[in-house]
A and B are shown apart, each in its own frame.
Chain A
Amino acid sequence: MSSETTPSSKPVKSTGLHIGEAEPGCRKVDPILVADGVKRTFGGLTAVDVAHVEVPRGAITALIGPNGAGKTTFFNLLTGFDKPDAGTWQFDGRSLAHVPAYRVARMGLIRTFQLTKSLGLLSVLDNMKLGAKGQSGENLFRSLFPFMWRAQEQEIEAKAVELLTRFKLDAKKDDYAASLSGGQRKLLEMARALMSDPTLVMLDEPMAGVNPALTQSLLDHILDLKAQGMTVLFVEHDMHMVRHIADWVVVMAEGRIVAEGDPHTVMQDQAVIDAYLGAHHDTDLGAAQTSNVEALKELIDDEQ
């Protein structure tokens, strides 16, 4: 993927986000998300071990790091899709420990997934409508009486169509989501996340597997979220990709936060360069069961 991809307009960077030195775990002026001592192990392997991190409000923060650094696992922990062995974390001052994923989402923290989870067997419009919060027709008893939810449904539909138009998907609204291209699915997933008017949007590798033309438009959309007052936290493993849009960069390696700072400073940081050079860029194979291949190891040992 080209590292020269830039958003079409020159983004306005937010500055003065932190207090004191820009070091791993530094304090922020106005943090929206704070994590303390979050730790997760798989078998004997420590996937995430974050001592302290704060995500600044109203800015775009990039979480970068080589493959296997634990970014996605950390994401899953923050959003309630996985449970840590230890740790506390708060969103907008409210603790998220032991809060189930759906409740996290209702609090205004919406996430997307690395492998897009657009629902291929629903239409694009239905995908969007599913994203809206507080639908009375989603209650079983009210669902039986269309007059109780029809008005709200029309409002939701209008909002969905508006968002789809912004994401240039309105022409596809009645198609099954399965018929969209990979990049369009990423757009749909982002648009769907916006249906609930979130305060913090967490995007897991929004640019992965998307062609350069669409990458541009995705970057624009991310900037747009900030312009509308939302906070963005996104995962990316290509650090050049984030340079142009991120206001703040958090670097993870081997489960820990190794550096933090504004994009330009961070890229010169020795710890970051080490983390990237030291990491092996092997591709992910199958499910994340890396701790689970003893038999294969034995077999390979036999042959040597």
Chain B
Amino acid sequence: MAEAGSTGGGTEEYEYFFLGNVKYDDKPLKGVEITVEGGGFEASMKTDAEGKWRIGVPEKGEYKISLDEETLPKGVVVAEGKSTITAEFGLTKLKAVNFFLGEGQRTSSDLGAQLLVRVVNGLNFGLLLALAAIGLSLIFGTTGLSNFAHAEMVTFGALMVLSFGVDLAMPLWLAIGIALVLSAALGWGLDAAIWKPLRRRGVGLIPLMIVSIGLSLAIRYTYQFFYGGATRQLPGATLPADIRLGPISLSWVDIASMVTSVVVLLAVAYFLLRTRIGKATRAVSDNASLAAASGIDVDRVIRIVWVLGALLAGLSGILWAYFRPGVSWDMGFQILLLIFAAVTLGGLGTAFGALVGSLIVGLFVEISTLWLPSDMKYVGALIVLILVLLFRPQGILGRRERIG
């Protein structure tokens, strides 16, 4: 029954196929790695002895097909065009994609340049993870809840932009605005309807965590119920990456995403460090009963944390939809573990630790693709998580006392 949640099943079962032939000097090349990526889907394979490859994809749409030049014989590169081709299906279910190879020096295979590209991507990814992770961390700090339904709050932001920006064809800025307001409202509503009553009942932290798992499952499949299993694109998600800075090419969306993240994160830092309510939040995080005894309205602080956490998660979801790119019902769940890893790496319950943890996870996931196959890129980040817990269980910025 778990099949329904599958994201990486065998590609032969799909209806649509990309295929091609890799040849150089009319001789087939074996073992050249081809990767198809798009709409949150990713698959790769190596060419067979006849130089042929064939990769199935779940739906009709636009995909990026790339050839790993590292796997070509020495002195052979992609001669015309780039090693990554964007392709779409025509009227048929098959689409041939061919790379034209020639003699030459590889330009993009220089490790330093590749590393730079990965670092920029990693920062972008890390920043959007941080938005979600800080919310999760604040909620954990103030209530002790490990909120598994945070993933669904991430997905919610993207789905709302899809509904208002695409289905209702509103202007993008308005759709994003509405999505953020609704995200904040979702946080308010979840706390009011579920979490506050459960705190009142004195339900323990572990039962609360399991409730959040149930909630996550219920909401996730509710999304699938209404939005279906397909991946759809937000307006502007497939803009060409035509801004070139040295070896790095970015699209306007990438730049806007990074700027937004940085600005919002600075605003959150200002909120936590300089405003009254932000300080109260940290006080509740440090020691809730002492804060309550000092006249802080703990319930109100927690409500604000839920609203803020949901708002940040929603924003993170929108940026994630542009980064992947694509909106799907389980997109938040795909990065939930990375968000948890980020929060744990930084130190459970510390907001700034979550930021540092996110950047590390983001960078690690992207940079590790230089050496790891791309379908294993999350493995590295999760192994790092376990190693960090082994040697520094309090996390990078955590206080030792907290784990006691």
Contacts and interface: CB of A to CB of B under 8 A. Distances in A.
A and B touching (Cβ–Cβ under 8 A): yes
B276 A296 contact: no
Interface stretch (A27-35, A93-101, A165-173, A281-289): A281-289
A289 B287 CA distance: 7
A293 B276 contact: no
B146 interface: no
B285 A300 contact: no
Most chain A C-beta atoms within 10 Å of own C-beta, residue among B282, B290, B399: B290
How many chain B residues sit at the interface, stated as a range, is 10 to 19
Contacts of A293: 283, 286-287, 290
Contacts of A287: 287
Nearest to B290: A285
Contacts of B296: 299
Contacts of B282: 294-295
A102 interface: no
Interface of A: 42-43, 285-287, 289, 291-296, 298-300, 302
Contacts of B281: 295
Given A286-B289, A289-B401, A294-B282, 9 more contacts: A42-B401, A285-B290, A285-B293, A287-B287, A294-B286, A296-B283, A296-B294, A298-B279, A302-B276
Nearest to A42: B401
Closest 6 CB pairs of A and B: A295-B282, A286-B289, A296-B283, A295-B283, A299-B279, A285-B290
A291 B402 CA distance: 12
Given A299-B280, A299-B283, A302-B276, A292 B399 contact: yes
Interface of B: 276, 279-283, 285-291, 293-294, 296, 399, 401
Given A298-B279, A299-B276, A299-B279, A292 B291 contact: no
Nearest to A299: B279
Contact of B286 (A42, A289, A300, A302): A289
A198 to B, nearest CB: 26
Nearest to A300: B294
A43 B286 CA distance: 14
Contacts of B294: 296, 299-300
State the main secondary structure of chain B at its contact with A.
helix
Contacts of A292: 286-287, 399, 401
A266 B291 CA distance: 38
Contacts of B289: 285-286
Contacts of A286: 287-290
Contacts of B291: 296
Nearest to A287: B287
A29 B296 CA distance: 55
Contacts of B276: 299, 302
28 contacts: A42-B401, A285-B287, A285-B289, A285-B290, A286-B287, A286-B288, A286-B290, A287-B287, A289-B286, A291-B401, A293-B283, A293-B286, A293-B290, A294-B282, A295-B279, A295-B280, A295-B286, A296-B279, A296-B283, A296-B294, A298-B279, A299-B276, A299-B279, A299-B280, A299-B283, A299-B294, A299-B296, A302-B279
A42 B399 CA distance: 10
B259 to A, nearest CB: 29
A39 to B, nearest CB: 16
A285 B289 CA distance: 6
B286 A296 contact: yes
Nearest to B272: A295
B290 A295 contact: no
B279 to A, nearest CB: 5
Contacts of A289: 286-287, 401
Contacts of A43: 399, 401
A302 B277 CA distance: 12
A46 to B, nearest CB: 14
A302 B399 CA distance: 25
Contacts of B279: 295-296, 298-299, 302
B35 to A, nearest CB: 47
Most chain B C-beta atoms within 10 Å of own C-beta, residue among A286, A291, A293, A299: A299
A299 B281 CA distance: 10
A302 B290 CA distance: 17
Contacts of B286: 289, 292-296
A296 B280 CA distance: 7
A33 B280 CA distance: 46
Contacts of B287: 285-287, 289, 292-293, 296
Nearest to B282: A295
Nearest to A288: B401
Nearest to A303: B276
B202 to A, nearest CB: 15
Contacts of A299: 276, 279-280, 283, 294, 296
A43 B401 CA distance: 9
A251 B288 CA distance: 32
Nearest to B277: A299
